[in-house]
A and B are shown apart, each in its own frame.
Chain A
Amino acid sequence: MKTVSLTIDGNKVTASEGDKVLWAALDNGIYIPNLCALRDAAEPAAACRLCFIEVEGCSKPVTACTEPVQEGMVVNTKGANALRLARTGFELLMASHPVDCAHCASNGVCELQIIARHLSIKLKSKRFRKLLRELPIDSSSPEFVYDPNKCVLCGRCVWICRERLGIGALGFAYRGFKRMVTTFGGEPIAESSCHGCDECVLACPTGALTLKDQHGGVSRAQRQKDPQPTAP
């Protein structure tokens, strides 16, 4: 396969032709915030609006996940305009995300924390009014807990469940603020076509899908109320 060389943040890197800038950067140890990107997906979702970069010769910032690499391309991931867009996108995302990291099973591995640090902004933004969804938590699966309130709608779990595993237990439903990842008819995950393979949990960038046997995967109070067998 033909390779092309380009410059990202002053570093000369090479990538295969047709590759997207996001993957070229990540493969070379240059981080660009992203949530919805999936390397194997046929088409980038380009839904999270966090991977904005500036390309020399382009008047406006572009999303790295949709921008193909080109010979001699000069990319700046730290441009003021790109970061401004990414920060606003992230703050809007956090406006409906409950920030309770101390009690969240994903504390420390959460990609939202990584992105906030990278963009040097706080998880709790004061710029936008907080609007939480207050949806019920689904702990019916013996393997994992699904808290739709923490979901950022990146669609990774949906893609993996359908495209990679061919199960299709999870999908998007509703529209606008009510949009959520759910099962057919909104039934509990245990009653859906879910196989309990945990692949979606591994793909989840936030604390929306967490393993049950993980420490704190379910709050202690909930575990007493709703005893569930833990994964072997």
Chain B
Amino acid sequence: MALNKDKRMAEEQAEFKQQTKQILKRFGRKRSNLIPILQKVQGKLGYLPREAMLEIAEFLNMPDIDVYSVVTFYNQFRLNPPGKHSIRVCLGTACHMKGGYITLDAWKRRLEIEPSETTPDREFDLDTVACVGCCTMAPVTVVDNKPQGKVEPTKVDGLLLGFELERKKQKPGGQLPTDEA
């Protein structure tokens, strides 16, 4: 099973490389193309895996750390694969005052990940945002692009339970999803 997993990962990496190369064909080897390339690659792959960053650095003839530097500088770029469900905790001024950090802590605790990380089963990814524009509902969490208002820790549990039930519905018998060998 572990071998299978390694094989799957190697295949995935080769796939990432291939797709990055495909995208790079459309660009010139100019340093100024770095951000447009990163945007296109992330648009295709959902995030910026290591292999893609190395490929881009080689293409633009710059140290790979420079690519990493830009990727970590902008919030727009992800280093982790996106989860099936996206959790965006608002930490804007109003949400901050109404306990946005408590909400964030609740998500962190329940999902056992830090902001900008993805759960190992790739179900959820967690991130923070600075104001989504519905401050009357503070503290806000945007779950799968739908703003949820007054998200207290109990509501976090409620939202997660909703996803759990949905998953059980899709898998009749209510068994937990297992890693197929």
Contacts and interface: CB of A to CB of B under 8 A. Distances in A.
A173 B77 CA distance: 13
A186 B73 CA distance: 13
B93 interface: no
A184 B72 contact: no
A188 interface: no
A175 B63 contact: no
A182 B66 CA distance: 11
A5 to B, nearest CB: 41
A184 B65 contact: yes
A162 B63 contact: yes
Contacts of A183: 65
B66 to A, nearest CB: 6
A184 B73 contact: no
Nearest to B62: A168
A128 interface: no
B63 A168 contact: yes
B69 interface: yes
A175 B116 CA distance: 14
A35 B69 CA distance: 21
A173 B72 contact: yes
In this complex, the interface size class of chain B, counting residues with CB under 8 Å from chain A, is 10 to 19
A171 interface: yes
B65 A171 contact: yes
Contacts of B66: 168, 171
A191 to B, nearest CB: 12
The prevalent SS among residues of B at the interface is helix
A170 interface: yes
Contacts of A182: 65, 68
B41 to A, nearest CB: 16
B150 interface: no
Interface in A104-157: none
Nearest to B64: A184
Interface string B114-155: 000000000000000000000000000000000000000000
Contacts of A185: 50, 53, 68
Contacts of B69: 171-173
B63 A174 contact: no
A93 interface: no
A171 B68 contact: yes
Interface string B41-53: 0000000001001
Nearest to A186: B68
B60 to A, nearest CB: 12
Contacts of B62: 168
A136 to B, nearest CB: 15
A175 B68 contact: no
A74 interface: no
Given A184-B63, A184-B67, 7 more contacts: A168-B65, A169-B63, A171-B63, A172-B69, A173-B73, A184-B54, A193-B64
30 contacts: A162-B63, A167-B63, A168-B62, A168-B64, A168-B65, A168-B66, A170-B65, A171-B63, A171-B66, A171-B69, A172-B69, A173-B65, A173-B68, A173-B69, A173-B72, A173-B73, A175-B72, A175-B73, A182-B65, A184-B53, A184-B54, A184-B63, A184-B64, A184-B65, A184-B67, A184-B68, A185-B50, A185-B53, A185-B68, A193-B63
- The 8 tightest CB contacts between A and B, nearest first, are A168-B63, A171-B65, A173-B72, A184-B64, A174-B72, A184-B65, A184-B68, A171-B69
